Amino acid sequence: MKMRNLASIRDNLLLCLSRRSFSCLSVCMHVHVFYYLGELNDSLSYALGAGPLFDVSEDSDYVHTLLSKAIDEYVSLRSKAAESSNEAAMVDPRLEAIVERMLDKCIMDGKYQQAMGIAIECRRLDKLEEAITRSDNVHGTLAYSINVSHSFVYRREYRQEVLRLLVKVYEKLPSPDYLSICQCLMFLDEPGGVANILERLLRSENKEDALLAFQIAFDLVENEHQAFLLNVRDRLSALKSLPSESVQPGYSDPATAQNENSAAPEDVQMTDESSAVTKSVHEADPKEVMYAERLTKIKGILSGETSIQLTLQFLFSYNKSDLLILKTIKQSVEMRNSVCHSATIYANAIMHAGTTVDTFLRDNLDWLSRATNWAKFSATAGLGVIHRGHLQQGRSLMAPYLPQGGAGGGGSPYSEGGALYALGLIHANHGEGIKQFLRDSLRGTNVEVIQHGACLGLGLAALGTADEEIYDDIKTVLYTDSAVAGEAAGISMGLLMVGTASEKASEMLAYAHETQHEKIIRGLALGIALTVYGREEEADTLIEQMTRDQDPILRYGGMYALALAYRGTANNKAIRQLLHFAVSDVSDDVRRTAVLALGFVLYSEPEQVCAALPHLCWCGMIDIYFSFYPMFF
């Protein structure tokens, strides 16, 4: 009976509306009926028709519900317009007016965080800027906006637009927060902007500004790959006010120095300019002398040398590893058990990672020599883990195991390949001084095990640099179609191009379809996944190609591509895709990797992993049920 009365009321109201026998005021009064009937779309439609008579400041469930509906509708329309690259898509101006009135009310009432949240969600950067600039605590609201953009803006392209706006607002402040600006520029991948700020701070007469520049440099080293760091460093290399002859002797091009000293037993020094610069500018303007000294220090930081030395000193000084544990393990396992032998070697490498303490290995050389083939490769590579970051002495430490003259010598190829891999581990992400030696070693041998180690080492040393010449060297090894060397070449290509979303990925995918070696396909699949690291929706096309491929190894790579492209974003679309593959793919490897990939995507919100696991369990049980159902019926 009640439902019949409500239907009658709705029909009568619609009849009145069709005859237009009402005023704007009567619309506002009668539109409540649609709200109580649950017809929110109709209620919103007539609320829009009421124009300014719809009071957004009214504190009632009715107004709050319609405002929420209006904002959701506006967000949906703006998002669709952005995704279709049609910014001029039609949005009802009355709907836009209500949202703007709501934003203006929030700003007028001092609810700046609420206004910023709505503005970001609605893609109204003009209102976001207004809310920030009119707030009482501009620095606080800017920090809040940065946090919101990283936590709740899931599309990378739009997040970059927000960050560019925040940089612009920061720069307009009387006292800009350069640390926050550089953090934004890091996410935007704009080394030129960072270099300009660093130079401005270094030239300042205020000592605090110089210290801030050094802190920014340390943050860059902590969070960025070497291509970005070298780009920033190179943009600082020219002193504007000093004569060119005053600077050039102190800063030699790393590539030139590398070629001149390629035969030297020690690694090339990445920065060695303090004395030269000091001598060349001792009679120059005091301001330029000060800038030159600061420039020398910041280049040392950007090269990674300063932070690496501090880390090595810390790890060595506070090394608390217990060698008795390793000794007990060694005595407890059978000498002929190669698995336990290798596991003990790995345990030693992990326990002493970065400490440069290789006492256990030196005291047990006879025991260590029992390793054969790939176990010997891993044992030698373990030295690279122990001496991680020992840039100056890395090559001399590995000299007894390295190929003689850059090619295979009289030693075991497994030791030589492991030594080249160890060099890459020692110089990972800081490989300016060792890249040329690794390239020479790669080109100077046809032994696939040595090529394997050289490719892995070169990929780590040139991490993220996208160096075309190195890529061609590795590609040459890949095209030999050797399973052992080709697998490492595929991974190395990914390390070289990590995070670049390079078109080389298509070339790698094409070769994966051509080769018959599963090892090469697996290496290429992982390499392709590395190229889209952090690229989010930009990687969707490549991910779609890989996940729809008939080859389960490439689908396995597609899972890793999803994991790396959306790492730490908790993106709902990526999570849905991974859950789907985790329960539906016919390959065990693909399903297992899809579940692992959930950890990559959700590492910033670990509580969501627990929420996702029950879905996997239920879907798995249903899958098993329907698999066995035909057996019983």
Q: 277 or 597, which is more confident?
A: 597
Average pLDDT of the residues of the chain: 81
pLDDT at 627 over 60: no
For the chain, the farthest-separated pair of C-alpha atoms sits apart, in whole angstroms, at: 102
pLDDT value, residue 266:
44
pLDDT value, residue 558:
95
pLDDT at 257 over 80: no
pLDDT value, residue 24:
46
Mean pLDDT, range 299-312, rounded to an integer: 88
pLDDT value, residue 274:
45
Highest mean pLDDT among 35-44, 78-87, 576-585: 576-585
The topology (CATH level 3) of 340-565 is Leucine-rich Repeat Variant (1.25.10)
Mean pLDDT, range 320-335, rounded to an integer: 85
Tracing tokens 């025991």 back to the chain, one arrives at 367
Cα torsion 62, 64, 67, 68 to 10°: value is -110
Q: Please report the beta strands in 359-473, taking only residues with DSSP state E, as ranges in sequence order.
A: none
Q: Please report the beta strands in 158-273, taking only residues with DSSP state E, as ranges in sequence order.
A: none
427 three-class SS: coil
Q: Is this structure's pTM higher than 0.85?
A: no
Q: 160 or 407, which is more confident?
A: 160
**Alpha-carbon separation of residue 421 from 255, 353, 389, 492 (angstroms):** 21, 15, 14, 11
**Domain ranges within the chain, ordered by starting residue:** 1-39, 55-165, 340-565
Query: Tens digits of per-residue pLDDT, 226-249?
Result: 888 888 988 886 555 444 333 333
Q: 617 or 529, which is more confident?
A: 529
d(CA 454, CA 402): 11
pLDDT value, residue 626:
39
Query: Tens digits of per-residue pLDDT, 526-580?
Result: 999 999 999 998 999 999 999 999 999 999 999 999 999 999 888 889 999 999 9
Give helix 504-514 / helix 518-531 axis angle, nearest 10°.
160
**For residue 195, what is the DSSP state?**
H
d(CA 438, CA 397): 15
> Tokens representing 465?
């640099």
> Tokens representing 450?
């040595």
Residue 553 CB partners (closer than 8 Å, separation 6+): 518, 521, 522, 525, 589
From the list 403, 406, 396, 432, the residue with the least C-alpha distance to 417 is: 403
Query: Tens digits of per-residue pLDDT, 48-84?
Result: 766 776 777 777 777 778 788 888 888 888 888 777 7
Query: Tens digits of per-residue pLDDT, 474-506?
Result: 999 999 999 999 999 999 999 999 999 889 999
d(CA 509, CA 80): 31
Cα torsion 262, 266, 268, 271 to 10°: value is -160
pLDDT at 163 over 70: yes
